[in-house]
A and B are shown apart, each in its own frame.
Chain A
Amino acid sequence: MSDRLLAVDDLTVSFSSDAGRVQVLDHVTFAMSRGEIVGLVGESGSGKTTLARAILGILPANAAHIESGGIRFEGEDLLQADPADIATRVRGRTITFVPQDPFTSFNPVFTIGSQIMELMKWKSPLAPPSSGLSRYARTRRKADRVKVIELLKTVQLPDPEAMLAKYPHEVSGGQRQRLMIAMALMTDPKLIIADEPTTALDVTIQAQILKLLRQLTRERGVSVLFTTHDLGAAHEICDRICVLYAGQEVETAPAGRFFAHPSHPYTRSLLDSLPSREHGIRGIRGEIPALVNPPAGCRFHPRCDRATGECSALRPSETAVGDLHTLRCYHPLSQPEPASAAS
Chain B
Amino acid sequence: MSLAGETSAVRTAARADAPPLLDVAALRKYFPVRDVWQRQVGWLKALDDVSLFVRKGEILGIVGESGCGKSTLGKTIMGIHPATDGKIVFEGNDITKLRPDKSRALRRRLQYSYQDPGASLDPRWKIRRSLHEPLVIHTELSADAREKRVRAIMRSVGLPETHLDLYPHEISGGQQRRVGLARILTLQPTLVILDEPTSGLDVSVQATVLNLFLDLKKEFGLTYMFISHDLSVVRMICDRVAVMYLGKIVEMGAIESIFSAPKHPYTQSLLAAIPQIGGRKVTDDFWLEGEPPDPTNLPSGCRFRTRCPLAESRCAQSEPPLIEKRPHHADACWLSA
Is the Cβ of A232 less than 8 Å from the Cβ of B291?
no
- Stretch from B127-135, B138-146, B280-288 contacting the other chain: B280-288
The answer to the question of A271 belonging to the interface, with a C-beta cut-off of 8 Å to chain B, is yes
A212 to B: closest C-beta gap in Å: 9
Is the Cβ of A283 less than 8 Å from the Cβ of B205?
yes
Is the Cβ of A174 less than 8 Å from the Cβ of B291?
yes
Number of interface residues of A (CB under 8 A): 40
Is the Cβ of B203 less than 8 Å from the Cβ of A231?
yes
**Complex CA–CA separation, A235 to B274 (angstroms):** 11
Is the Cβ of A203 less than 8 Å from the Cβ of B207?
no
Is the Cβ of B203 less than 8 Å from the Cβ of A229?
yes
Near A by CB (< 8 A), chain B positions 192-242 give 202-208, 210-211, 214, 229, 231-233, 235-237
- Partner of A207 from B173, B206, B273, B277 at Cβ < 8 Å: B273
- Partner of A275 from B65, B232, B278, B288 at Cβ < 8 Å: B232
The answer to the question of B275 belonging to the interface, with a C-beta cut-off of 8 Å to chain A, is yes
A225 to B: closest C-beta gap in Å: 18
Given A43-B204, A44-B202, A236 contacting B281 (CB threshold 8 A): yes
Is the Cβ of A232 less than 8 Å from the Cβ of B274?
yes
The answer to the question of B66 belonging to the interface, with a C-beta cut-off of 8 Å to chain A, is yes
B227 to A: closest C-beta gap in Å: 14
With a cutoff of 8 Å between Cβ atoms, the chain A residues found around residue B237 in the complex are 281
With a cutoff of 8 Å between Cβ atoms, the chain A residues found around residue B101 in the complex are none
Interface of B is mostly: helix
Please encode chain B, from 105 to 124, with 1 for each CB lying within 8 Å of some chain A CB and 0 for all others. Answer: 00000000000000000000
The answer to the question of B289 belonging to the interface, with a C-beta cut-off of 8 Å to chain A, is yes
Is the Cβ of B273 less than 8 Å from the Cβ of A206?
yes
- When C-beta atoms are compared, the residue in chain B nearest to A280 turns out to be B236
With a cutoff of 8 Å between Cβ atoms, the chain B residues found around residue A271 in the complex are 277
The answer to the question of B174 belonging to the interface, with a C-beta cut-off of 8 Å to chain A, is yes
**Complex CA–CA separation, A206 to B66 (angstroms):** 13
Is the Cβ of B277 less than 8 Å from the Cβ of A235?
yes
The answer to the question of B172 belonging to the interface, with a C-beta cut-off of 8 Å to chain A, is yes
The answer to the question of B254 belonging to the interface, with a C-beta cut-off of 8 Å to chain A, is no
The answer to the question of B10 belonging to the interface, with a C-beta cut-off of 8 Å to chain A, is no
Please encode chain B, from 257 to 299, with 1 for each CB lying within 8 Å of some chain A CB and 0 for all others. Answer: 0000000000001101111111001110010110100000000
Near B by CB (< 8 A), chain A positions 173-212 give 173-175, 202-208, 210-211
Is the Cβ of B65 less than 8 Å from the Cβ of A283?
no
- The listed residue with most A CB atoms (<10 A of its CB), out of B173, B269, B273, B274, is B273
**Complex CA–CA separation, A269 to B174 (angstroms):** 18
- The listed residue with most A CB atoms (<10 A of its CB), out of B229, B236, B289, is B236
Is the Cβ of A172 less than 8 Å from the Cβ of B286?
no
A290 to B: closest C-beta gap in Å: 10
Is the Cβ of B281 less than 8 Å from the Cβ of A235?
yes
Please encode chain A, from 273 to 289, with 1 for each CB lying within 8 Å of some chain B CB and 0 for all others. Answer: 11111001111100100
- When C-beta atoms are compared, the residue in chain B nearest to A202 turns out to be B65
With a cutoff of 8 Å between Cβ atoms, the chain A residues found around residue B203 in the complex are 43, 229, 231, 270, 273-274
**Complex CA–CA separation, A280 to B233 (angstroms):** 10
Is the Cβ of B273 less than 8 Å from the Cβ of A260?
no
Given A274-B203, A280-B236, A281-B236, A204 contacting B275 (CB threshold 8 A): no
**Complex CA–CA separation, A206 to B270 (angstroms):** 11
B3 to A: closest C-beta gap in Å: 28
With a cutoff of 8 Å between Cβ atoms, the chain B residues found around residue A106 in the complex are none
Is the Cβ of A172 less than 8 Å from the Cβ of B202?
no
Near A by CB (< 8 A), chain B positions 80-103 give none
The answer to the question of A214 belonging to the interface, with a C-beta cut-off of 8 Å to chain B, is yes
Is the Cβ of A229 less than 8 Å from the Cβ of B207?
no
The answer to the question of A237 belonging to the interface, with a C-beta cut-off of 8 Å to chain B, is yes
The answer to the question of A259 belonging to the interface, with a C-beta cut-off of 8 Å to chain B, is yes
**Complex CA–CA separation, A206 to B286 (angstroms):** 11
With a cutoff of 8 Å between Cβ atoms, the chain A residues found around residue B202 in the complex are 43-44, 229
Given A275-B235, A281-B236, A283-B211, A204 contacting B283 (CB threshold 8 A): no
Given A204-B288, A232-B277, A259-B277, A273 contacting B270 (CB threshold 8 A): no
21 A/B residue pairs, CB under 8 Å, sorted by A: A43-B205, A203-B229, A203-B273, A203-B274, A204-B65, A204-B270, A205-B291, A231-B277, A233-B275, A259-B278, A271-B277, A274-B232, A274-B277, A275-B235, A277-B235, A281-B211, A281-B214, A281-B236, A283-B204, A283-B208, A287-B172
A residues bordering B, Cβ < 8 Å? 43-44, 172-175, 202-208, 210-211, 214, 229-233, 235-237, 259-260, 269-271, 273-277, 280-284, 287
Shortest Cβ-Cβ A-B pairs, 3 listed? A232-B275, A283-B207, A283-B208
